[in-house]
Structure 1
Amino acid sequence: MRDAEGWCGSRELETCVERTLQVRGLDEDTVAELKARAARARMSLSAYVAQILTDMAATPAPDEIRERLTALQEVGGGASREDILAEIRRAREF
C-alpha cells in the first residue's frame, strides 16, 4: 500500500514489502523484445515488466466484466447490446 510518491503508509512491514516474481521459460525473442521496449521507455527490464503486470492486475478480467454487465442488465434499465450499437450508429449518422 504505497502513496503516489511511492511511500508506504502502513505500519505493518508485511504490507510494504515488495514481492519478487521469477519467470522461467521465456524464449530469447520475447526477452529481446521486452528489453527493447523497456529501453525505449527508458526503464529497466524489471521495472518495465513490473509495470505491465501491475497494469494487467488492475484491469478487470473479461469474465469479471461480463459478470458486471450481466448484473447491470438484471437490475433493469440496462440496454441490450443491440440497442446500444443501434444508438451508436444513429448518433454517427448526424
Structure 2
Amino acid sequence: MISKNKVISKDGTSIAYDKIGNGPALILVDGALCYRASGPNAPLSAQLAQNFTVFTYDRRGRGESDEMKPYSIEQEVNDIAALINEAGG
C-alpha cells in the first residue's frame, strides 16, 4: 500500500503516515526496527480506532519516510511534532 499521507519535518524530511478512526488524536510510535507495514501498531490502531483518531507513521529512514541524516533524538522529536501539528495540535 502506498501512502499519500505525508508531513514535512522541520529539516525537510518527508514522514509518511496513516490515519484511522474518529475521536481524540493518538499517535503511535513504533520501535526502532519496525515501520507501519511491519510491527505491532497496525493491529493496535485498528482496535483503538473505535475511540480515537489513530496516527501510525514510518520513522525517518524506514518504510515510506525519507532518510535524512544525521539521525538524532531531536530530529525524531521534530518528526513527531510535525505529526502533532497535522493532528490538530
Q: TM-score, normalised by structure 2?
A: 0.24
Which structure is richer in relative contact order (CA contacts within 8 A, separation 6 or more)? 2
- 1 or 2, which has the higher strand percentage? 2
Q: TM-score, normalised by structure 1?
A: 0.24
